[in-house]
Amino acid sequence: MKAPEAGSLRTGAPRASGGPGQLPVVAVVAAGGGIGAAARYAASLWWPTRTGGFPWTTLWVNVVGCAVIGVFLVLITEAVTAHRLVRPFLGTGVLGGFTTFSTYAVDIRGLLGEGRPGTALTYLAATLFAALFAVWLAAMATRRVLLWRQR
């Protein structure tokens, strides 16, 4: 099979650029990501994982972050009309920078490298379950509070 020529893939229509409309979104995601990552780093300084210990800090950062995501998304999608940059700033930026899949993966790899596969598997499952449960519980609780306040 032969690859098509580059010129044959063009439709003739000019390509739409992101333009200046995307710049504010990128800027607020970057700013929020910096804030969230700094908060996560602060948590790791306040509650460091000891060598050979269970990575409680990363687990709780992810669980708390997911709970806040649950509250935030219910509020922003069901309760209030917010500026178009609020969701990318807080949801993608701050909370995306605060929660951390990469450190979670590195922690699992470290536990496996230390010859602790049972702990690694427990951590993998506990984080997944707790994070999903936290977002679900927080979203449900937020909806109930909103319904209660409407009465």
How many Cβ atoms from other residues are within 10 Å of residue 125's Cβ? 10
Which residues does the annotation place in the binding site?
96, 99
Q: For residue 48, give every residue at least 6 positions away whose Cβ sits within 8 Å of its Cβ, in sequence order, or none.
A: 57
pLDDT at 13: 57
Which residues does the annotation place in the binding site for Na(+)?
96, 99
Residue extents of the structural domains in the chain: 24-150
pLDDT at 51: 84
pLDDT at 3: 52
93-144, pLDDT tens digit by residue?
Answer: 999 999 988 899 999 999 999 999 999 999 999 999 999 999 999 999 999 9
35-90, pLDDT tens digit by residue?
Answer: 999 999 999 999 998 888 999 999 999 999 999 999 999 999 999 999 999 999 99
DSSP assignment of 21-82: HHHHHHHHHHHHHHHHHHHHHHHHHHSPPPTTS--HHHHHHHHHHHHHHHHHHHIIIII---
